Structure 1
Amino acid sequence: MNASKAQGSQTSVFHAVDITKIYQMGEVEVHALRGVSLELYEGEFVVLLGASGSGKSTLLNILGGLDSPTSGTVHYLDHELTASDGSQLTQYRRDNVGFVFQFYNLIPSLTARENVELITEIAASPMEAMEALDLVGLKPRADHFPAQLSGGEQQRVAIARAIAKNPRVLLCDEPTGALDVQTGVVVLQAIGQINRQLGTTTAVITHNAEIAKMADRVILLSDGHIAGIETNSTKIAAQDLRW
């Protein structure tokens, strides 16, 4: 199947076939992924759900071009990521993918606006830094330094930085993992709003089954396998989650 073909009216953004990932730890082989095949579609909100060590982060890193599988193929639209060299993967990440991690990785000596502008300076067709901050509700805090912002505000700056390049894909690895419940809800609201307003294909890693209720689809991972894929007929807004 060609990666750009649509299933129904949905365009396939990612098409992965039988991907494995084996890490060599001394004399021990660690099988992080064991023959994973999946599709992610344009504009959908997907949650990758599973326990620690189930392969979620490895899968996300491969889709984002931060890592390569040991075997198998991954297409992004019509482009085969698994046939790309290092410079091509760098260009792919720069032009197409926004990343949000558990820890914010903001530069302490730069304001929120300046942290976002770092990305707009290298992106092909970025939005204005203030527009990105406005989308996550932080325009009034644009001139504050990270130390003057709460953890949730710092994570929203990180989201603004990720979306400022106008990526087609937003990949989030435990974006609420370092936050309390109330603050986590605010961050999830921002991610959900980006998905709705910009139509960005969004994948969020979590071990929290409650967050999965926000998703269009939930991909369950266990021991490097896809244990199941569930579709939510009714999505729940972040503020209605009950942690």
Structure 2
Amino acid sequence: MTHPLFNIENKVVAITGAGGGIGRAVAKGFAESGARLALIENAEANFEALRGELAALNAHAAGYYVLDVTDREGCFSCVKQIVEKFGQVDVLINLAGINQRMRPELYTEAIYDRIVDVNLKGTFQMCQAVYSFMKANRYGKIINVGSITAIAANQHLPVYAATKAAINQLSKSLACAWAPEGIHVNVVHPGWIDTALSRQARVDIPGHAERVVATTPAGRWGLPEDLVGTMLFLAAPASDFIDGANIVVDGGVTSQL
């Protein structure tokens, strides 16, 4: 039997970037905990693997929504559709994000704008879109996703790092503004996580995989599943007095000098 502090059964959980490596692990974790899922991706094809994985779990009814999070009207419309289907939205997890690995002097305006629009603007717009519904219920959980690059610099990810640092400060501001209305906003900062995107970096950068292991006190790459427990905690009643927090899930990387 699940302790009431950690019970999220039947909660409506909206997840952007649900078809990515971390998104799929988080979606499965919430499905196994009895949540109802509203899964959001920017293309229908990105749901393919996730649909099969959730079907194998006999998961609760899930809704699938195609959305470009840079489209403000689309964000509000998507959340409205979720509420029409499920009656409410209890938890929002903003996982949608992109990066572009290159030296700072090589960024074009178009690349800069796209990263900022998806990562920062998209996160903010989704938070705004769920606000009125969470306010009406006097309760809601928003989990925004940062990165260890918001804490420690990375010369090849300057714009990505800047957006993640901005998400950190944005989330603190939202927490201060919305906590009196029962809406709890927090940030999870993943470290080096083994996903398709990070695997490509290992191919492109000689020795990268080995350096990550050598500089991580836990002695390994993180797995998408390593983030699930933290997400579940921040979505559950156990975290109802946590607002504006930064939880780093990085195997100890940023704890070092």
TM-score, length-scaled by structure 1? 0.35
TM-score by length of 2: 0.33
Structure with greater strand percent: 1
Q: Higher helix proportion, which one? A: 2
